[in-house]
Structure 1
């Protein structure tokens, strides 16, 4: 099986600072204490098994917010010297509400593999699921700086919850020239069929109505620790049904999803669920969409 993996993370705890790994604990996504070790390019490649990974996209690993550009510098060095060109694309971290956001974006853009920015936006009424405790999309400075992404030809990886999707859809309509990529199939954390899943479906339709929004089907095991192919089925197939095969792509979210699945098992699950799709559709989902959207 050949894949382009558009969502992986690397970290070097010996040389870099990741606040969330300084004193990790258990959360709804699993036991982060099991992730407190270096995870380098060769560690990742050693776990891919029979899955032939053609290219990868590195998404910011919540690196030190005081020095977000250092992560990009380190990743570009890996791509240039030891990673066989990988990561082929870098989605960097930046706080778009910061006064120096333009300076930070310019510094990221100086590295040839930089393609976009992710700033985690997840706000939830339940403290268990709350990431940032601040509605960035409602912040005037953040929204002003968001427009700078166009100047630097950067995409935006959109990590949020279903309750925030309509607000994000309005943002995507306002910035139709910027490519948005929904992370982790929209993070349907509230799985009550009558409310949580209905809100997810409604929000995903609102986002998919914007032609500049694509989606990564990834991170499903974070919310489904005892997952099966059948428990993945509705989230995979409904996401593809809403966004279409031309705007959907599979991703691993390694090593976070490694807490609950091997690399091979994840990709085999995806492959099984779309086994009846056409060869063209499967190529789009597994390789060509990621290449096109991340320009690699």
Structure 2
């Protein structure tokens, strides 16, 4: 794996050196996107998330996002991701009557490249989800610069346009499931084409639309922003497309927060993120945008509390209705969490 595609390391002492108290600690928040990780040298499971979620902000519920965790170790290969749904459902079951309701909604993985044959896997995941499975994410990141692509999420070029893949996507709507999209910003026009073809299926763009500002894009920052902005505004024309506003603490985003002697303050985060996040909110509206922690992935760049403080700072001029949508209303609507 190339250094550019590695995850940023989580450094507990560094994070603790600049962790802020929560602003507006009573504001109810539904975290639209987080993971459990169980990988070599990196474990982040329920207790770890509860520690972060309990750091001062009022996290009332969350949406769990697939992360290759606890797959079945045997049985048919396409069915092995059902194990992640079984694990998450089981480990968070006792929390569903309290606060926070971790994994109140669950997004799983299924290999949509199998086309219509993926339906049996989707039905098995629905059964395993005990009423909480809300959608599927199939990672489709591709770029002409191979150093950008994490082998765990690499996909062939043009996958979103492939007829067999689309036959897999077509199964989601009839089962009441949404599609979470993780891709790089040059692929957004392909996502537009896919989402337009399935207007009854909700499409949720992850992490502000795949901002990439390193490697071959490092010296093209104005062009990156302009191209990304045009594509996001085009996507906003489709009423079935929504955006997760967050996920800008990854190495590929090129903000380099991890290089400071101390973690970035929420004021610094808000200033750096403002052009990107305000563009998303301006284009889609607060009723189609939702804030996400993207933990533990973004934990390499800043503490959980600072990230949510930055979101609060970015919306200080927004109306009460807009903030309600961004912090809890949109995610509850899209993932049917009521």
- The answer to whether TM tops 0.5 is yes
Q: CA deviation at 1:57?
A: 0.2
Q: Which moved more, 1:107-116 or 1:225-234?
A: 225-234
2:35 maps to which residue? 9
Q: CA deviation at 1:82?
A: 5.2
Cα offsets for 1:47-83 (capped at 9, x unmatched): 2311111110001013459410000011111232356
Alignment of 1:133-148 (within 5 A): 133-134=155-156, 135-148=158-171
2:307 maps to which residue? 266
* Counterpart among 197, 206, 224 of residue 174 in structure 1: 197
1:159 maps to which residue? 182
* Counterpart among 253, 261, 272 of residue 231 in structure 1: 272
Task: Supply the distance in 2 between the matched residues of 1:197 and 1:82 (Cα, whole angstroms).
Answer: 41
Q: CA deviation at 1:158?
A: 1.0
Alignment of 1:10-89 (within 5 A): 10-11=36-37, 13=38, 21-22=39-40, 36-48=41-53, 49-63=55-69, 64=71, 66=77, 67-81=80-94, 84=98, 85-89=101-105
2:212 maps to which residue? 189
Cα offsets for 1:190-229 (capped at 9, x unmatched): 3634321111011101211100000001111112231622
* Counterpart among 243, 260, 263 of residue 215 in structure 1: 243
Given the superposition, is the C-alpha separation of residues 286 and 101 from structure 1 closer, same or farther in structure 2, using an over 3 Å criterion? same
Cα offsets for 1:68-103 (capped at 9, x unmatched): 000001111123235644210000011101264111
Q: Please state whether the residue corresponding to 2:92 is helix, strand or coil.
A: helix
Q: Please state whether the residue corresponding to 2:43 is helix, strand or coil.
A: coil
Question: Is 1:107 paired with 2:107?
Answer: no
Task: Supply the distance in 1 between the matched residues of 2:141 and 2:228 (Cα, whole angstroms).
Answer: 14
Task: Supply the distance in 1 between the matched residues of 2:165 and 2:222 (Cα, whole angstroms).
Answer: 34
Cα offsets for 1:16-73 (capped at 9, x unmatched): xxxxx34xxxxxxxxxxxxx33322221111231111111000101345941000001
Q: CA deviation at 1:175?
A: 0.2
2:228 maps to which residue? 200
Q: Which moved more, 1:43-52 or 1:99-108?
A: 99-108
TM-score by length of 2: 0.77
Question: What is the RMSD computed on CA atoms of the aligned residues?
Answer: 1.7
Once superposed, which parts of structure 1, at least 4 consecutive aligned residues long, lie more than 6 Å away? none
Task: Supply the distance in 2 between the matched residues of 1:74 and 1:133 (Cα, whole angstroms).
Answer: 26
Rg: which structure is higher?
2
Q: CA deviation at 1:290?
A: 0.7
TM-score by length of 1: 0.88
Q: Do the aligned residues in 1 keep the contact of 2:141 with 2:184 (CA within 8 Å)? A: yes
Task: Supply the distance in 2 between the matched residues of 1:168 and 1:287 (Cα, whole angstroms).
Answer: 25
Count of aligned pairs between the two proteins: 275
Q: Please state whether the residue corresponding to 2:222 is helix, strand or coil.
A: coil
Q: Which moved more, 1:136-145 or 1:205-214?
A: 136-145
2:148 maps to which residue? 129
1:92 maps to which residue? 108
Higher helix share: 2
Gaps spanning 5+ residues in structure 1: where?
A: 14-20, 23-35
Q: Do the aligned residues in 2 keep the contact of 1:123 with 1:160 (CA within 8 Å)? A: yes
Gaps spanning 5+ residues in structure 2: where?
A: 1-26, 258-263
